[in-house]
Copies of this chain bind each other. A is one copy, B any other.
Amino acid sequence: MSKKTSKLVLEKLRGAASAVVSEIQKGKNPSIDIPLRTLANVKWNEKRSIIEMGKATQERYFFNVAMAKKFMQTFLVAEECQKLLGSEKTASLRDLFYMAKRSIGGMQENTFEEQVESDEIIEDLEVGVNALREELHLKADKRGSLVGDLIFTDKGDTIDGRRMGSGGWAIPSIVEPEVVEFKRCDAKFVLLVEKAASWDRLNEDKFWQKHHCILLTGEGQPPRGVRRLLYRFVNELKLPLYVFVDNDPWGYYIYSVIKQGSINLAYESVRMAVPQARFLGLSSFDRERFGLGKEVIIKLNDQDISRAKQIMGYPWFQKKEWQREIQKMLKEGVKMELQALSSKGISFVSEEYLPRKIRDKDFLD
């Protein structure tokens, strides 16, 4: 993280702390103002096409039996973040838990018992000082790989996405501009693939070279690092983003989290969601369109059916094309994996399926 960003976040943390100190000096009951992360304070912003947080907040008082512990925890976490920022280091959420966990003199109780407590305080801090956890130098587990028509630096080391062999660049958890700097981009679009095996296939066939794109996988639901990268590709490099997932409700959901954000982390949609994302497939209509045999389909189970119905009801899936898509899945009662395309030949996906989809603009918005 650059010193500039760190300094800004440090100032925000200190600002919050100073306010509390001055309240104490005035003999008041010190408090901090934390935006509410409850379901009731989450809204679907149709105009911006993202799930976002409302304006409700809660005052957290020190002299309040129900709030005193959380008050203390907030300051412990803030203190550890301040140390990280000061030393230009980063920590995982689990590390932070251990860093802030200690026994309270003479008592059986610790400052934190479970990581879920410190995680919640981190979310409070993020919204409280309006900084991503990455800007507080905290990171989630990393996952995912990238290759493609892009040159960038990662902590000053030049990474050429066109010369990363079969493995690719392992996408770190923190990809803010201070860590990852784009240098040269010849890509015309970005393709996010749900499955690592399909990413492998496309990389082996040098799909990214023939079609000038950036190829990423998040190995399932993309982690934060991948989502922030997608956000930056679309917003800074102005590239179209296509999402390529299994034909099942989970695939729809992965797409929707990338596009609109999630209810749980609604407060971060504004810097994580990519409303421009397009759903390239697998679509419930692809089996007929591409003549896939009946041996590649899998019957929906009860969980799939109820998840698909739930997704159909979300305000952000109300476009008639999406209703048709999900209705088709429910009507046929089947799902399909990306690897099902291999039944038509190992390189069918890179030589036929994707080129035709992209050429015909056959995607859902």
Contact = CB atoms under 8 A, between A and B. Distances in A.
A173 B118 CA distance: 36
Contacts of A91: 201, 342, 346
A197 B99 CA distance: 14
Interface string A306-344: 000000000000000000000000000000010111110
A48 B312 CA distance: 59
Nearest to A110: B295
A249 interface: no
Given A87-B346, A98-B340, A103 B204 contact: no
Interface in A274-300: 293-296
A200 B156 contact: no
A165 interface: yes
Contacts of A172: 165-168, 200
B170 A167 contact: yes
Contacts of A363: none
Contacts of A154: 164-167
B173 A165 contact: no
Contacts of A179: 165-166
Contacts of A236: none
A contacts with B: majority SS: mixed
Interface in A158-177: 158-159, 163-174
Contacts of A89: 204-205, 346-347
Contacts of A165: 153-157, 159, 169, 172, 179-180
Contacts of A38: none
B342 A296 contact: no
A139 interface: yes
Contacts of A339: 92, 94-95, 97-98
Q: Work out how many copies of this chain go into the complex.
A: 2
Contact of A342 (B95, B156, B158): B95
Contacts of A168: 169-170, 172
A91 B195 CA distance: 13
A154 to B, nearest CB: 2
A145 B225 CA distance: 15
A142 B159 CA distance: 20
A155 B205 CA distance: 12
A200 B90 contact: yes
Closest 5 CB pairs of A and B: A154-B165, A92-B197, A170-B170, A145-B170, A167-B172
Given A102-B343, A165-B172, 10 more contacts: A90-B200, A92-B197, A94-B339, A95-B339, A101-B296, A102-B295, A103-B294, A154-B167, A159-B167, A168-B170
16 contacts: A84-B346, A92-B201, A92-B339, A95-B201, A97-B339, A102-B343, A139-B200, A154-B164, A154-B165, A155-B165, A155-B166, A157-B165, A166-B172, A166-B174, A167-B172, A168-B172
